[in-house]
Structure formats: C-alpha cells, structure tokens
Amino acid sequence: MPPQLYDCSLSQPILVTEPRGNISSFVTDETGCGGSQNPWRIQASAGQSIKLTLLDFGPADPAEHCKVYAIVKDLDTAKPDTICGGVLRDPDVYSHAVDIRIITRDQTAHFLLQYEGECLQGGVNVTFIVLPAFKM
C-alpha cells in the first residue's frame, strides 16, 4: 500500500488492504501516515484474529526498559496495548480489528510490525480477507 496515495492529514484511520504484510516505522517517519492522528487499521471478519510480530532492528536493552514503538488498540475491547522495542516478546494476537499508532519521536532504530490474519478452523489456520472500513 503506497502511502503517497493517501492524504495523511485527514485524521482518519488508513485501511491496510492485504491479509498479511509489514507496517514500517520508516514509512510513518517519512510520511506521517500511521501516527497518532491517522492510525493503520487492520480489520477482518468477526471470529477471526490478527497476529502482530515485532521485527526490531534496534539494539537490545539489557535493562529491559520499554521503548514505546507502537500503541495497538483492539477495537473489540477498546483496550490499548503497548509494543515495546529493545525487549524480546512473543507475537501478540488481537481480535478481528485493530488500530496501530506508530510512535516515532525520539526513535533512532527502525522496526517493522508484521501482521497476519488468522482463523482457527479444525486446527488449520486460514488467512482472512480484509473488509474495507471506509472508502477513499
């Protein structure tokens, strides 16, 4: 999804249109897309889930302090979750709809958030189909 096709000053979510991919901190740094005013939105059908995995290119923090990379808001629960850099973490699984706000201030390292939609049917993971949240 090329960010240059969107006006990131509109203060509305930017819909991610692929069932799996990466969200880059560099893109948010360069374009402002995916920041606090216009988060990335990933939405799947009800009953499906979204898995996020942090790919951190920054140095590890031996003190394990949280360097806030992103805030993920699960739209079903409205519960925010902080994605921290510099520490090891397992992939996170959310409900079928999330907003992701990349925090770029004071960041010297870049990272990717790898996303994938999943549905567990008979023990087999099935990739989801993204539903449009709004039309541009």
Question: What would the pLDDT profile of 54-79 be if each residue is shown by its tens digit?
Answer: 998 877 777 767 888 999 999 999 99
Residues 14, 18, 45, 131: is their CA dihedral positive or negative? positive
Which of the pair, 107 or 69, is modelled with greater confidence?
69
| Residue ranges covered by each domain of the chain | 3-126
CATH pick for 3-126 out of 3.20.20.410, 3.40.50.300, 2.60.120.290, 3.30.565.10:
2.60.120.290
What is the pLDDT at residue 29?
85
Find the mean pLDDT for residues 20-47: 86
Compute the average pLDDT of residues 42-58. 86
Nearest to residue 87, comparing CAs of 61, 112, 110, 107? 61
| Reported pTM | 0.78
C-beta neighbour count of 4 within 10 angstroms: 10
Mean pLDDT in residue range 27-45:
85
Distance, in Å, from the CA atom of 74 to the CA atom of 100, rounded to the nearest integer, reads 9
